[in-house]
Amino acid sequence: MNKRQKSDNLVSFYLRLPAELKDRIDQESKERGTSQAQVVVDLCQRALDMPKMDPELKKWLGRVAQ
C-alpha cells in the first residue's frame, strides 16, 4: 500500500518521465511501501547531496526543486 506524504512544507511539482523510469519508480515504491512521490524525493535528495555531482545537473536540480 502506498502511503501519502504529509503535506507540511510541500509544493506541487509535475514531471514527465520515460515509461521505463516510471515503472522502476512504481516498483521501488511497492517494495518500500511508500508513495511514488517519496521515492522521487529521496532520489533527488541523495543526488543533490552527492559531493561529486556534475555541477550543471546539481544547478538544474536546485532550480526545479525550488
Cβ burial of 28 (10 Å; 0-12, 13-18, 19+) is middle
Looking at the structure of the chain, the number of domains it has is: 1
Q: According to the model, what pLDDT value does residue 33 have?
A: 96
Tell whether 42 is covered by a domain: yes
How far out from the chain centre does Cα 15 lie?
A: 10
- Of 9, 8, 15, 7, nearest in space to 61 by CA: 15
- What is the rounded distance in angstroms from the CA atom of residue 39 to the CA atom of residue 54? 21
Tell whether 11 is covered by a domain: no
Q: pLDDT tens digit string along 7-42?
A: 678 888 888 999 999 999 999 999 999 999 999 999
Residue 58 has pLDDT above 90, yes or no: no
Tell whether 12 is covered by a domain: no
Answer with the residue of higher pLDDT: 5 or 37. Answer: 37
Under 8 Å between Cβ of 5 and 35:
yes
Tell whether 10 is covered by a domain: no
Tell whether 4 is covered by a domain: no
Q: According to the model, what pLDDT value does residue 59 have?
A: 82
pTM: 0.63
31: which 3 cell numbers? 517494495
Q: According to the model, what pLDDT value does residue 8 have?
A: 76
Tell whether 30 is covered by a domain: yes
Tell whether 26 is covered by a domain: yes
Q: Write out the residue range of the structural domain in which residue 54 sits.
A: 19-64
Tell whether 9 is covered by a domain: no
